[in-house]
Chain A
């Protein structure tokens, strides 16, 4: 037999061990018969001959066993046996198996889902950047943050560098496609002509951009394949068709295949515009040649053999030259190169922080799962001591037994992993649903590919080994001898301690998760009920990007005036006004003020105070009470004496113990503005901020650099959003109405991180607690069953049943208390990481810490309840009669 045939025989032996068996039977039968014949020939009776032959053969079963050992498929055959045996054991302990599988599926599913998201965001590239040769070029801020640069600077770098095979510049931009009801906001990019060649993208239809499109193209656009499918119904001949963008008609010149999702893969791009159409999609009173106008970021492909360090050094040299050549426009310019990923680099830190939190929480759940299954299996080792002893006496080696246990637990984990993979698909959707609505085109590629499968498989095997190893070593150690003796108390002590440690770890981890969730929950509730100082219900906030539609300043004013006319007569609208920024939008403008009777701080000419430039009826529409004086006079105009309204904090800070009315302030060199009213202090930037001084100026006297429109509704705010959108389209059907939201929705925006983390921590924490309670229950039940004899003696000697009950509960609590103390310490340390997400509560909020700790203690006491009751029901006579 050659090697191949031999291997075939081995594999055959694995699946058809019966074939080997028959083969050996037949061969030995022949030998046996020949022996019998030989003995008969020497004169024995046929019966004596048979007996003699049998004696010679000895133990036929053992002989065949040895033959099997040699001939069988070896390790593969043993594995098959172990798997078969393991499956049988799992079927026999169906209750344990179901609980363990559920826990594993959850643990592995959640971890896999998080991995698949992290994979999509950080590791999988939307374009081929396997070798890391695609780099981002950014300007540098003083604090190391990323910045944009001008086309003129880009051109110099592009033309002077020798490191990049291709260096493109681009900027993402939101545009409105279509008109009226069908108006859709679409994510686009404005790109240089060489952009697509950086990524080696070939068109699906038509053509992509050329270098000359930077300066001399008409209004042209390249579409994504998904946009082409969606909006052009997969028109087989898209080139030459037209599409309306920001009110202008663009010619479609090409379609990019689905495999390319734009510069930042997690944020997909649907339209690409050449640099020359910048003035159409985003009109500016400037042109490309202005070196001071920074608006681009870069992406380039390195030449083969050039390292990022070499390229950085060269870019630094060019930057130095630029600083020398253009001290006025580029005197402080600096650049940095980063490896290109799927996220905008400004978001990377945020995203990785959230994912890190998720990963830790999910990891903790998996650890608890492992600890739990390990302790469940450990208690089964006791139940299975006889089985182990029998297998040992039949000649199974210690190593073989350990392997059997680990095979069994890995089998369990593998099934759990399979279920987890299914669960992961669902968990992933839940996690992605936390993404805030304004990230409309955020759709990272998180399909389950072989890497995710590999991760899940690896996790399952690792988990199986992790929770299988302790019981396996234990089973391996339990000798036949000690199993035949009755349970020796000495080995019990060590095992109980191990159990105890597992439970303590579980309690610690679940407490950390629950406390994190509790803190975030309190923050959220605090933020919902926090007094804003104004009436935020029934308020709609509208924001418009008029530059996109080509409005110059005077035209913008006309747009708003027409809009207000429309809105005031619209049904259900009880008030309309405007300001620069919505409260809590985290945006404010500040100016330097001179203030009557106050000397500016040393070294400066004025006080820096946040302000807003507001429309008529601002205070009544927003529900900000005027506590002294009055609001702005409706007949104010640029020529009348300047008026201001300050808030209470301002008045108290600068004119303590006196009325602010009639006092003078000014933004210029003179005190030219009279305070006519004092308004209640509200939350301006964020919830729970400390009271800030604030100044309101009138839009009738100052030109606001930004406009937000506020509409008060007579009834529910949600009901007039559509009315507002209609009013906008009555003025201009090409203006996007995407940014018209109720204030209630708007204020949820910044809370999405808190909400996502709270929900995750809450779900994971509850899961962890349930697992932990099962663990506590298991350990105490086990302990009670071990101590039946002892309880019997105690009760026989007159111990009260209530005393026994307390003893068992006490044992359970001892395990938990240590875990709770450790958990509180760990939570105290880790809650600081949540710092920025908490408001209204501190990271060491005693109420949260104490209530959750108590909750965990009480639930674990309850988990001990059933075994404790069992302990009190021990019948001393039965217990004592049992062999100790």
Chain B
């Protein structure tokens, strides 16, 4: 793929996964696909990071899993947000907004100052 891809900060992946799941339950492949698509292929999710992140969040009780049937009629494991996960997502999203807004302000200020 020609497009430059960005490495995700630790924690950012968690937020993206949670946000992706806020629309309903998905299996791992679909989560990766959805993030990639929504970011216009900028963010590519490594399977090597995705599953550990999913398992970790499941252990923390942010998401829960259940075996179900995929679109193509195969058994797949579906993840969905718990109430705790939704609270966590909201808190994380807010702090992400603040962080990115701050970064943008700094960048702008330096641009104008220079």
Contacts and interface: CB of A to CB of B under 8 A. Distances in A.
Interface of A: 1, 3, 6, 23-24, 26-28, 30-31, 33-35, 56-59, 62-63, 66-67, 69-71
Contact of B52 (A1, A26, A34, A67): A67
In the A-B complex, the 8 residue pairs with the closest CB atoms: A70-B55, A34-B29, A31-B29, A71-B55, A66-B52, A1-B64, A27-B77, A58-B48
6 contacts: A1-B64, A24-B51, A31-B27, A35-B47, A67-B55, A70-B55
Contacts of B28: 27, 30-31
Given A6-B61, A35-B29, A30 B52 contact: no
A59 B46 CA distance: 12
Given A3-B61, A27-B76, A30-B29, A57 B55 contact: no
Contacts of B46: 56, 58
Contacts of A69: 52
A53 to B, nearest CB: 9
Main secondary structure, interface of A, reads helix
Given A23-B77, A27-B77, A71-B59, 7 more contacts: A1-B61, A27-B27, A31-B28, A31-B29, A56-B46, A63-B51, A70-B52
Interface in B71-92: 74-77
A26 B27 CA distance: 12
Nearest to B30: A34
B100 to A, nearest CB: 28
B95 interface: no
B5 interface: no
B24 to A, nearest CB: 18
Interface string B4-47: 00000000000000000000000111001000000000000011
A66 B52 CA distance: 6
Contacts of A23: 77
Contacts of B58: 1, 71
B77 to A, nearest CB: 5
Contact of B47 (A1, A33, A63, A70): A63
A222 to B, nearest CB: 65
A63 B54 CA distance: 12
A334 to B, nearest CB: 71
A30 B61 contact: no
A67 B32 CA distance: 17
Contacts of B55: 67, 70-71
Given A31-B28, A66-B52, A67-B55, A56 B74 contact: no
B108 interface: no
A23 B51 CA distance: 12
A31 B75 contact: no
Contacts of A66: 48, 51-52
B61 to A, nearest CB: 7
A57 B64 contact: no
Interface in B57-71: 58-59, 61, 64-65, 70
A281 B21 CA distance: 92
Contacts of A24: 51
Contacts of A31: 27-29, 32, 47
A71 B28 CA distance: 16
Nearest to B31: A31
B29 A70 contact: no
Contacts of B74: 30, 33
A30 B28 CA distance: 9
A13 to B, nearest CB: 11
A56 B76 CA distance: 19
B56 interface: yes
A58 B47 contact: yes
A70 B58 CA distance: 9
A292 B65 CA distance: 89
B70 A30 contact: yes
B83 to A, nearest CB: 11
Of residues B29, B46, B75, which shows the largest number of chain A Cβ atoms within 10 Å of its Cβ? Answer: B29
A58 B58 CA distance: 23
A71 B64 CA distance: 13
Nearest to A57: B47
Contacts of A3: 61
Of residues B27, B28, B52, B75, which shows the largest number of chain A Cβ atoms within 10 Å of its Cβ? Answer: B52
B29 A63 contact: no
B64 A70 contact: no
A24 B47 CA distance: 13
A30 B48 contact: no
B61 A63 contact: no
A63 B27 contact: no
Contacts of B48: 57-59, 62-63, 66
Nearest to B47: A57
A763 to B, nearest CB: 55
A59 B70 CA distance: 26
B59 A30 contact: no
A826 to B, nearest CB: 56
A70 B56 contact: yes
A593 to B, nearest CB: 95
Nearest to B76: A30
Nearest to B52: A66
Nearest to B55: A70
A27 B74 CA distance: 11
A41 to B, nearest CB: 12
Contact of B75 (A6, A26, A28, A67): A26
B77 A30 contact: yes
Contacts of A26: 75, 77
Nearest to A34: B29
A159 B29 CA distance: 90
A692 B48 CA distance: 97
Nearest to A59: B48
A312 B52 CA distance: 70
A722 to B, nearest CB: 81
B12 to A, nearest CB: 18
Contacts of A63: 47-48, 51-52
A56 B59 contact: no
A30 B47 contact: no
A506 B93 CA distance: 65
A56 B52 contact: no
A743 to B, nearest CB: 80
A141 B99 CA distance: 85
A34 B58 CA distance: 23
Of residues A3, A6, A33, A70, which shows the largest number of chain B Cβ atoms within 10 Å of its Cβ? Answer: A70
Given A31-B28, A34-B29, A56 B70 contact: no
Contacts of B75: 26, 30
Nearest to B64: A1
A6 B29 CA distance: 24
A872 B65 CA distance: 69
A122 to B, nearest CB: 50
Nearest to A23: B77
A59 to B, nearest CB: 8
A58 B46 CA distance: 9
Contacts of A62: 48
Nearest to B77: A27
A467 to B, nearest CB: 36
A610 to B, nearest CB: 86
Nearest to B27: A30
A3 B82 CA distance: 12
B59 to A, nearest CB: 6
A28 B61 contact: no
Given A1-B64, A3-B61, A70-B56, A28 B27 contact: no
Of residues A28, A30, A57, which shows the largest number of chain B Cβ atoms within 10 Å of its Cβ? Answer: A30
Contacts of A71: 55, 58-59
B17 to A, nearest CB: 14
B76 to A, nearest CB: 5
A143 B49 CA distance: 81
Contacts of B65: 1
B58 to A, nearest CB: 8
Given A27-B28, A30-B29, A67 B61 contact: no
A730 B58 CA distance: 92
A649 B101 CA distance: 113
